[in-house]
């Protein structure tokens, strides 16, 4: 017999939520096979069985919060017994002769059990199973649109209004009563664990730091012209990797962090921890919320390596394939609200870091070149939110001024790299 425990997830993660059991009690389990999916505030983690055997006990249900090290299942030695479908009717015929009033209840129970068992055997993605549970859809009645595996879109299609679904809507009087004003309909949904954790972390940062934001603006003319001249050759020389703006800002941030080391620090109790590495978090928006994967060792990487790392991490984030190692250890964060059209914002510091750099939309605006001349220039507002307990205003302004100077003079940025 082997106990299945919640594994060590990461230094800052102490618990997770049972997202979905991939195996049921009585199922055969192979060594190293995934048996349950855990959802944490950063990524989803699949827990494996350390031994081969039969899953004989599940100690935590889907939706339960479990701590690292807690026992959530038991796998016993042996093999799963084959389902004896032929034996079931024989066992049920005998009591039906003794008590004519119970056949209907027995039949209903059997149908329910068969449906649950059937759902476990059907091939479906975890997200499709979760959606089917939320919508009360029997997976055995869902038709796939492509392939043999049921996907969320198949469940959505099966959930479209049908005549036989109307009685189910009437069987929810509690929900109907909760709507006090039918003319003002509302939909109440439970926050996902990730969204709950995001909310909790943001409040912790707001409550536990002396956060302040300072702004500057950057003339993007020179870096845009350089990018325009070099992007095709860059892409040819680096196996299709495109030259974007993020690598310029990442390299500029590394140079500024070296000049102002307190921005690359954090408070630990009564100590100031000055980080002498440059692992930059790049905020990525996903359907489930914002995640911040880390581009490691940015001071040692060239522009192409940084650009490729950003692309790879963004794809993994959107495909929900980020690992814990992709999310841990960042020393500073960059977020680009400009991709969504943001002109100006005050980003919130990420975790225990001391600061975060916010990029915004590039907008053509009239700029005074000197006292006699005005020109239309592509301009971007940048923001630095910082912990005033660590960083003084002079340092914050100097940090942003360094970013501005390097972006406006990209040749100097290349020399810094």
pLDDT at 402: 97
Query: Model pTM?
Result: 0.66
pLDDT at 106: 46
Q: Tokens 């030259």 identify what position?
A: 243
CA distances from 21 to 125, 129, 156, 324, 407 (A): 12, 10, 21, 20, 50
Cα radius of gyration rounded to whole Å, the chain: 28
pLDDT at 10: 63
- Alpha-carbon torsion (89, 90, 93, 95), positive or negative: negative
pLDDT at 104: 47
pLDDT at 372: 92
pLDDT at 159: 77
Catalytic residue, chosen from 99, 237, 325, 388, is 388
Give per-residue pLDDT as tens, 32-85: 888 898 877 667 788 888 889 999 989 988 888 888 889 999 998 877 665 544
Is 388 considered catalytic here? Answer: yes
Q: For residue 226, how far is the Cα from the chain centroid?
A: 34
Give pLDDT < 50 ranges for the chain. Answer: 84-111, 113-118, 120, 164-177
Calculate the CA dihedral of residues 153, 159, 160, 164 and round it to 10 degrees. Answer: 150
pLDDT at 81: 61
pLDDT at 238: 93
pLDDT at 250: 97
pLDDT at 291: 87
Catalytic residue, chosen from 77, 99, 312, 392, is 392
């Amino acid at each position: 017999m082997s106990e299945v425990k919640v594994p060590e997830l990461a230094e800052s993660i102490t618990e997770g939520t049972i997202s979905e059991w991939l195996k049921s009690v009585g199922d055969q389990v192979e060594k190293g096979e995934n048996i349950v999916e855990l959802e944490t505030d950063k990524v989803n983690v699949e827990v494996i069985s350390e031994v081969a055997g039969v899953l004989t006990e599940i100690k935590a249900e889907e939706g339960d919060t479990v701590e690292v090290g807690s026992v959530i299942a038991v796998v016993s030695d042996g093999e799963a017994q084959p389902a004896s479908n032929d034996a079931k009717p024989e066992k049920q015929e005998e009591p039906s002769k003794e008590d004519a009033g119970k056949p209907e209840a027995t039949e209903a129970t059997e149908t329910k059990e068969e449906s649950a068992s059937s759902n476990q055997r059907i091939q479906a993605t975890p997200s499709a199973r979760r959606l089917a549970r939320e919508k009360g859809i029997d997976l055995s009645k869902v038709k796939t649109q492509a392939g043999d595996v049921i996907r969320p879109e198949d469940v959505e299609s099966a959930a479209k209004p049908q005549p036989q679904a109307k009685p189910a809507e009437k069987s929810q009087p509690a929900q109907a009563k909760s709507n006090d004003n039918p003319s003002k309909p509302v939909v109440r949904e439970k926050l996902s664990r990730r969204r709950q954790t995001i909310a909790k972390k943001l409040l912790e940062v707001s409550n536990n730091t002396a956060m302040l934001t300072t702004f500057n603006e950057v003339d993007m003319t020179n870096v845009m012209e350089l990018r325009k001249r070099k992007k095709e050759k860059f892409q040819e020389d680096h196996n299709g990797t495109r030259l974007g703006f993020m690598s310029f800002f990442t390299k500029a941030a590394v140079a500024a962090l070296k000049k102002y080391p307190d921005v690359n620090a954090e408070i630990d109790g009564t100590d100031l921890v000055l980080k002498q590495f440059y692992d930059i978090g790049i905020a990525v928006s996903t359907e489930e919320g914002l995640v911040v994967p880390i581009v490691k060792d940015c001071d040692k990487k060239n522009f192409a390596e940084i650009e490729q790392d950003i692309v790879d991490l963004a794809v993994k984030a959107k495909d929900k394939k980020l690992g814990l190692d992709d999310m841990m250890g960042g020393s500073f964060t960059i977020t680009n609200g400009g991709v969504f059209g943001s002109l100006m914002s005050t980003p919130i510091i990420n975790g225990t870091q001391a600061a975060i750099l916010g990029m915004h939309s590039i907008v053509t605006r009239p700029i005074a070149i000197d006292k006699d001349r005005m020109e239309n220039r592509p301009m971007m507002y940048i923001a630095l939110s910082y912990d005033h307990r660590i960083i003084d205003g002079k340092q914050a302004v100097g940090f942003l001024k360094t970013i501005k100077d390097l972006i406006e003079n990209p040749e100097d940025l290349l020399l810094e790299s």
